[in-house]
Amino acid sequence: MCKKILSIALVMMTCSFYPQKINNQIDNQIKKQKKMSNAAILHEANEFVKKGKYENFLAYCTEDTRWVFVGEQILTGKEEVRQYMKEFYWEPPVFTVDTTVEEGNFVIVTGQITLKDKEGNYNQYDYCDVWQFENGKMAGVKAYVIEKKS
């Protein structure tokens, strides 16, 4: 009788442990699948910019993100980026990506962007952005932006 009870207890313990082990394996697999490359993170974040959902975009940035527009201005922190977006993104920008290169914590993207100005005119630019990432978030960008002349 004692052996039977011990066997039943052992089976119950095994049954309760085994599903937990399977669940942990599934959780780990899901976490691995969810781990995105920095380039994928950038492109996902930019989809929010295209939709005018700037706060969603900012969630992908570090608090102390630093944006350098070469020859123009430097923005430090989410609040300055937020103000920049309010000032220059009268409507969501239209942009295309020609090239994406990822190396370590850096993602380089080239393409074209069209912005509407205060007077309602659309201005077109070529850009090359060099993004730096920290722990899966956008920590900064060095942006080379050149206006296209008609």
Evaluate whether the domain defined by 38-147 bears CATH number 3.40.50.11810. no
For residue 45, which of 115, 95, 117 has the smallest C-alpha distance? 95
- The helix (H) or strand (E) run that includes residue 39 is helix 38-50
- Distance CA(61)–CA(51), nearest Å, equals 17
- Distance CA(137)–CA(61), nearest Å, equals 5
| pLDDT > 50? residue 3 | yes
| pLDDT > 50? residue 6 | no
Are residues 62 and 136 in contact, defined by beta-carbon separation less than 8 angstroms?
Answer: no
Question: Which residues does 133 contact at the CB level (< 8 Å), separation at least 6?
Answer: 38, 41, 105, 106, 107, 139
Average pLDDT, the chain: 85
| pLDDT > 70? residue 100 | yes
Domains in the chain: boundaries = 1-35, 38-147
pLDDT digits (tens, 9 = 90+) for 47-73: 999 999 999 999 999 999 999 999 999
